[in-house]
Structure 1
Amino acid sequence: MKLFIFGLGYSATYIAQRLAAGGAAIAGTVRSQVKADQLSGLGYAMRLSASAERDGAVARELADSDAVLVSVPPDARGDPALEVYRDDLAAASRLRWIGYLSTVGVYGDRDGGWVDEATVPVPTSEASHRRLDVERQWQQFGDTHHILVHIFRLAGIYGPGRNQLVQLAEGKARRIVKPGHVFNRIHVEDIAQIVEASLGRPRAGAIYNGADGAPAPPQDVVTFAASLCGVAPPPEIPYEYAELTPMSQSFFSECKRVRNTLLRDELGVTLRYPSFREGLTALRAAGDGP
């Protein structure tokens, strides 16, 4: 099998590594020459994604790809990959599967209530509105061209080098407290196994929540990370006094609990890290943290 990935960023790189270990040929796009050189050294066929201009080399890679994974953020017009390569994707005779990495943000704020894949999305942020629009664009494209499209709605992503242990080591960890606020997370290695399982069990119109099923307050995660490192946790900061980045603000602006039972029931996936506790414990053992 050959998989082409639009946007080999953090999550998609782990997906590529897992599938390559199983014998898949990997090609894709990146934003930097350094990343292109690094991944080319692993045997991947990499191209720099420069602009909205069609790249003939990318088109040729798509022509003999069996599957395509899209891991690029939408812009004001929709999905850049679909915008530029729509005709090439439609003409790719071997293409049978398209995966799109989306976000649980499309469900909007549920005041702490539970959501699953059958829940009607009601996005509240502009970014989540764009994600939902792009989900529908890909689903419509798949229906039109008889290509199976799978949507992966991901929770807060963490993994090696990107977690609260690292934040503690860098002095950037904060325990921001907003009473009643919880959200789910997902380890990047679990994202990779979810995508791999999806490729093995294609279903038209499939949507999967990539979430750990264990929603928790963010301050509890920092406290647990500090306990693994044998250090005192940083002081609590009331939400109303916290200065937040736009990304952090998005996590605190919506509160919901995400079910992931479809992963087990339909894809047969058992998460390696069913909560942040297992995930952070493994990351600490691997060397992350102070």
Structure 2
Amino acid sequence: MSDLSAMIVGCGDVGSRLARQLLARGWQVHGLRRTVAQLPAGVLPVAADLSDASIPAGWPEHFPDYLVYCVAASQHDEAGYRAAYVEGLRHVLSWLADKGQHPRRLLFVSSSSVYAQQSGEWVEEGAATEPEGYSGRIMLEAERLALESGIPASLVRLTGIYGPGREWLLSQVRQGYRVAEEPPLYGNRIHAEDAAGLLAFLLQADAEGVALEDCYIGVDDDPAPLAEVVAWLRQYMGVTEWSDEQRVRRTGSKRCSNARARALGWVPQYASYKEGYAAILKG
């Protein structure tokens, strides 16, 4: 058994997967969300609405070693993103300050939307962050809040998360949707279990005294052109029809690198879309 502990704020899909992985390692885990009945077994519940500035009734008097801020916006517009990522984090940091609590590290789960590269460039953590959309701009604001919190912090910029229950592309392919082949539109993916695995890996590394960087990109080993992914899925699923009207649409084209996380020793369980989608379809 470990004597380590973590608070996962926003214990939804990825957060719950992280909780189960930490519990399996012997960690004590608190999970904060609005509906705590959906928390995995073994997670200590903290019921809270991050839009409420008052300290939740279940806030622990002895705060866990680590704080993971892993929320998802409940409404996908500028106000929703600001409420979830900026104001919610500000409330949590305020609760910590009011209680005089100081975690060993904060992991802030961010997004590759902060990168606006569109020409298939390879992107690493230090690449220019000049997002054109509100989601990337607000995420950068939240990242700054985390890094300036006074708590040692690392950002984890996850790319397109997929997995059971996150099957949008599979639905598109089944309906025969098309995607442009030229120029290649590179997409970046990480299986939800690997996203949680990277967070668990970083927490364990920090606990063991490894010096963490202030930012990591969460992505598999194979940023691939979307047309290639669609073609592979069509063959795997036996889809032969094409839709005349519908297309898979996306903006941007970049290839995110996981070299920094891999150099630390992290290895994704699903190295590419092939292993990840095969596991979903077999399930």
- Note whether the superposition's TM-score is higher than 0.5: yes
2:282 maps to what in 1?
Answer: 285
1:118 maps to what in 2?
Answer: 126
| Runs of 4+ off more than 6 Å | none
1:167 maps to what in 2?
Answer: 171
Q: CA deviation at 1:137?
A: 0.9
1:81 aligned onto 2:88: yes
SS at match of 2:239: coil
1:60-209 pair list within 5 angstroms: 60-61=59-60, 63-72=62-71, 73=73, 74-75=81-82, 79-90=86-97, 91-93=99-101, 95-141=103-149, 144=150, 147-163=151-167, 167=171, 174-177=177-180, 179=182, 180-202=184-206, 203=211, 205-209=213-217
2:56 maps to what in 1?
Answer: 56
- Where structure 2 has 5 or more consecutive residues not aligned to the other structure, the ranges are 74-80
Q: CA deviation at 1:166?
A: 5.1
2:272 maps to what in 1?
Answer: 275
Q: CA deviation at 1:174?
A: 2.8
2:39 maps to what in 1?
Answer: 39
- CA distance 1:109–1:44, change in 2 (3 Å): same
- CA distance 1:77–1:229, change in 2 (3 Å): closer
Q: CA deviation at 1:84?
A: 1.5
Quick one: which of 12, 17, 20 aligns to 1:17? 20
Superimposed CA distance per residue, residues 7-34 of structure 1 (whole angstroms, 9 cap, x where no aligned partner) = 1122111111111111122222224x3x
The whole-number CA distance in structure 1 between the counterparts of 2:24 and 2:112 is 28
Q: Which has the higher helix share?
A: 1
Quick one: which of 6, 27, 31 aligns to 1:28? 31
Count of residue pairs brought into register by the alignment: 266
TM-score normalised by the chain length of structure 1: 0.81
Superimposed CA distance per residue, residues 92-127 of structure 1 (whole angstroms, 9 cap, x where no aligned partner) = 545101111111111112421111012131211111
The whole-number CA distance in structure 1 between the counterparts of 2:227 and 2:38 is 36
Tell me how large the CA RMSD over aligned residues is. Answer: 2.7
The one-letter code sitting in structure 2 at the alignment partner of 1:57 is A
The one-letter code sitting in structure 2 at the alignment partner of 1:44 is L
Q: CA deviation at 1:43?
A: 3.9
- Percent identical residues: 27
Q: CA deviation at 1:216?
A: 1.8
Contact 2:96–2:102 (8 Å) recurs in 1: no
Q: CA deviation at 1:234?
A: 4.0
- Where structure 1 has 5 or more consecutive residues not aligned to the other structure, the ranges are none
